Amino acid sequence: SAVISQKPSRDICQRGTSLTIQCQVDSQVTMMFWYRQQPGQSLTLIATANQGSEATYESGFVIDKFPISRPNLTFSTLTVSNMSPEDSSIYLCSVALGVDQPQHFGDGTRLSIL
């Protein structure tokens, strides 16, 4: 498997501000994924991030609200922009170590917006 580190692990933010979440992997991976887990709910994919190309967003998620960077094969960031209380969630990154391999997850970032 892989060691996946997310920062910050949790944060409390004011509405209207933005927060950038970092995801670092201890090995090079082609594909990284960002998920949102709203309180008491399951995980929903926000976008898929492939190194060297624009992220692919799922229906209901837009780049202006959730810009993603993928500068190299071990790192990605997700920014939650202009936050509102509805953005209070756990945000998780995951990686696939190879084709047809299962995804492995970081511990998530627990975000609360006041």
Residue 102 in contact with another protein, rule: CB under 8 A: yes
User: Half-sphere exposure of 14 toward its Cβ, with a 13 Å CA cutoff?
Assistant: 2
Q: Which of residues 59-88 bind another protein (CB under 8 A)?
A: none
Residue 4 in contact with another protein, rule: CB under 8 A: yes
* Interface with another protein (CB under 8 A), residue from 30, 72, 82, 84: 30
Residue 18 in contact with another protein, rule: CB under 8 A: no
CB atoms within 10 A of CB 2: 16
Q: Name which of 84, 6, 76 is nearest 47 in CA terms.
A: 76
Instruction: Name the phi and psi angles at 87, rounded to 5.
Output: -85, 0
Site residues, another protein (CB under 8 A): 1, 4, 6, 30-31, 33, 41-45, 48, 58, 92, 94, 96, 99-100, 102-108, 110
